[in-house]
Amino acid sequence: MVPRPRSRSRSRSRNLASAKPKSAASPATSAKPPDQAQPSPCDATHAHGLMSFLPSKDSPVLAYLARILMVWPIKAILPLAVLRFLLAHFSSSYSYLHHPLLDLHAMLEVALFVHFKIKAHTLTNSQPAAAASYLYPEIDIQETMAPLDHLNQCLSHLDHALREHLPSASPAELRARKQYELAGWFTDASQGSHNARATFEQIHRHHLSTWLAWAFLDAPLDEQLEEELAPLVDAIEVFCGSPLQCGKHVSASIVPLRLNIDSLRAQHRPILHYFVTHFSANLAGWAIFTSRGFKRRVKNGQTYYFRERRIKKKGRGKKPLVFVSGIGIGLVSYERLVSALMCDDRDILVFDLPEISLRWTPFKQHAHAPPLQTVETI
């Protein structure tokens, strides 16, 4: 039975104790490697991963070289294809550039560009509230964990992960890192760019309450809800080691990221790019995960990879680990992370989501079944 969409006009009467954040990624804790008699996935090959040759995003020089050698040439494919077509057909001096396959490529690139512009215009002008109601219909689920307890658990996991990742960091450095992580959920529109990151000092308690209202309740912020969310804001202030701004003045330029409410920002990519992400990257991901002992399975149209734990013990054992990727080129970019998670010997499920992996997917604007079916399957 498909739940009915939420009505935005009705009054909100949900109790915070029955709410749950949309996204609360809990870092995996480290565990002892399996017995030496069994083949361990934590050897040097798995620790470094097959993708270890890729440049680190923390290096500005390598990032700039990647932009010159990869990003800009891809963006130049469409204008160069159109320029070649025009010169080959309308200039006798460049008639040698004429080729049927190149002409077909140019026409396909132009057709894709026109289709992209129409689709982007349609999605950008759709109502954010309607999109949110469509993607996240109301589902009444009885939860035993209150939001404050759930938030404290998430903050505890994040604190543990930061201390493992930065073992030699001082308390001041850890505090600065926590503030940096929180500020990543807010943008500063006054800098003239939608990607401009806000600083921790710019965030007001009202800004954080607005973000928490979306994350926990998918609801707009009102005075009553802001009072109910005050303990959660206090917990985050304690976690960050510094109070947020308070008072009557609230900067309108600081905007929280709310993924299913924010306006759509899309960029055109040529056919060659989708050939790489749809075929090459997908094939590489399949080869990497199957070589790690994962088995590819499909259920209700949803593809996932499953790997059983190597050491069979009596009883239920550890809970399975479920990995859901973010927006990118697919699972191939998470090979290092999944290899590290394999060190904790337990069942692992890795979901393959083509809708957020830069692949061609049949998605209709008013088709409710695909996203709901994906959520229910997961």
The predicted structure's pLDDT at residue 176: 93
Residue 191 falls in which region: left (phi positive, over 0), alpha (psi -120 to 50) or beta: alpha
Compute the C-alpha angle 39/41/344, nearest 5°. 110
Residue pair 220/192 in contact (Cβ under 8 Å)? The answer is: no
Tens of pLDDT, residue by residue over 213-222, are 888 777 788 8
The predicted structure's pLDDT at residue 185: 92
SS (H, E, C) 174-209: HHHHHHHHHHCCEEEHHHCCCCCECCHHHCEHHHHH
| The residue to which tokens 């939860």 are assigned | 143
The predicted structure's pLDDT at residue 164: 86
Of 262, 277, 256, nearest in space to 327 by CA: 277
The predicted structure's pLDDT at residue 47: 39
> Rounded to whole angstroms, what are the CA distances from 81 to 70, 97, 268, 279, 327?
17, 11, 15, 22, 28
Tens of pLDDT, residue by residue over 7-50, are 333 344 444 444 444 544 433 333 333 343 344 445 434 434 44
Q: What SS3 state is found at 151? A: helix
Residue 357, Cβ density class (10 Å: 0-12 exposed, 13-18 middle, ≥19 buried): buried
The predicted structure's pLDDT at residue 314: 55
Q: How far apart are CA 296 and CA 293, in angstroms?
A: 10
Q: How far apart are CA 243 and CA 238, in angstroms?
A: 8
Q: How far apart are CA 250 and CA 229, in angstroms?
A: 17
The predicted structure's pLDDT at residue 29: 37
Kindly state the tokens that stand for 23: 């996204």
Q: Residue 19's CB: how many other CB atoms inside 10 A?
A: 19
pLDDT by residue, tens only, the chain of 378 residues: 334 334 333 344 444 444 444 544 433 333 333 343 344 445 434 434 444 444 444 567 777 787 788 778 888 888 888 888 888 888 878 877 888 888 888 899 899 899 888 888 877 776 454 444 444 444 333 343 477 888 888 899 889 888 988 889 999 999 999 999 999 999 998 887 777 889 999 999 999 999 998 887 777 888 888 888 999 999 999 999 999 999 888 998 999 998 777 777 788 888 888 888 888 888 888 898 888 889 998 887 788 899 888 766 655 667 888 888 888 888 888 888 888 888 877 888 898 888 788 887 765 544 434 555 666 766
pTM to 2 decimals?
0.57
Q: What SS3 state is found at 348? A: strand
Q: How far apart are CA 244 and CA 201, in angstroms?
A: 7
Tens of pLDDT, residue by residue over 283-324, are 888 898 888 889 998 887 788 899 888 766 655 667 888 888
